[in-house]
Amino acid sequence: MSKFSKKRGKADPNISTASLPDIIFMLLFFFMVVTKMRDSELKVNVVTPFASELTKLEEKSLVSTIYIGRPMEKYISIYGTKPRIQLGDKFADPREIRFFLETFRVKVPENRRSQITASLRVDGNVTMGVVADVKTELRKAGQLKVNYSAKRRPEAGF
C-alpha cells in the first residue's frame, strides 16, 4: 500500500447558466425604465449666437424651452421660410405660450413652481419682432425668469 495516492485531473464544476436569461431581462427592463427619450423633435433651425458671460442652468427639469427659428428643409413647403415658434413638438403662435407654460407648471411640484425658467433658444438670424412677441406673452403668463441660450465664445488663441 502506498502512502501517496495518485491525483487525477479534478475538473471545476460547470457554472450554471440557468439564471442568465433572467439577469439579461432584468437589465433590459432596468434600462428601458431609466432611459429618458428626447422630449421633442427639433423642427426649426437654431444656431445660437456666441456669448462671453454664460451661466449654466442647474436643474434642467425646471426649464421649459421655446425654440425660435426658420423651419427645417422638410417643413418649408408646409410652413414657409418665415421664423416660427416651436413649443414642445409642434409649431405654435405666440398666443399658445400661456397654455404651454401652464401645462408645464402642472407637472412641477407646487413648492418649486417659482423656480421655473423659460429658456429661449433663438436662431441668431431671427428678427427681434418674433422674440419681442414671445417675451410679451411670457410677461402676460407671469413667467418672469427668462434665459437666452447661447454658445461659449471660442477663445482667441495667440
Strand locations in 25-143, DSSP E? 44-45, 50-51, 63-71, 84-87, 90-92, 117-122
Decide if 13 is inside a domain: no
Report, as an integer, the average pLDDT of 112-134: 94
Report, as an integer, the average pLDDT of 21-32: 91
Range picked from 6-10, 37-41, 107-111, 150-154 for highest mean pLDDT: 107-111
Decide if 126 is inside a domain: yes
Decide if 72 is inside a domain: yes
Decide if 16 is inside a domain: no
The answer to whether 43 and 66 are in contact (CB under 8 A) is: no
Is a pLDDT exceeding 80 seen at residue 102? Answer: yes
pTM of the predicted model, to two decimals? 0.73
The answer to whether 71 and 23 are in contact (CB under 8 A) is: no
Decide if 1 is inside a domain: no
- pLDDT band for 10, please (50, 70, 90 cuts): low
Decide if 81 is inside a domain: yes
The answer to whether 134 and 66 are in contact (CB under 8 A) is: yes
The answer to whether 83 and 91 are in contact (CB under 8 A) is: no
Decide if 86 is inside a domain: yes
Residue 118, class by beta-carbon neighbours within 10 Å (0-12 exposed, 13-18 middle, 19+ buried)? buried
Q: What confidence score (pLDDT) does residue 158 get?
A: 46
Report the CATH number at residue 145: 3.30.420.270
Phi-psi domain of 20 (left: phi exceeds 0; alpha: psi -120 through 50; beta: other): alpha
- pLDDT band for 89, please (50, 70, 90 cuts): confident
Is a pLDDT exceeding 90 seen at residue 13? Answer: no
How many domains are contained in the chain? 1
Share of the chain above pLDDT 70, in %: 90
Decide if 18 is inside a domain: no
Q: What confidence score (pLDDT) does residue 39 get?
A: 66
Q: What confidence score (pLDDT) does residue 7 get?
A: 64
Q: Which domain holds residue 74?
A: 44-152
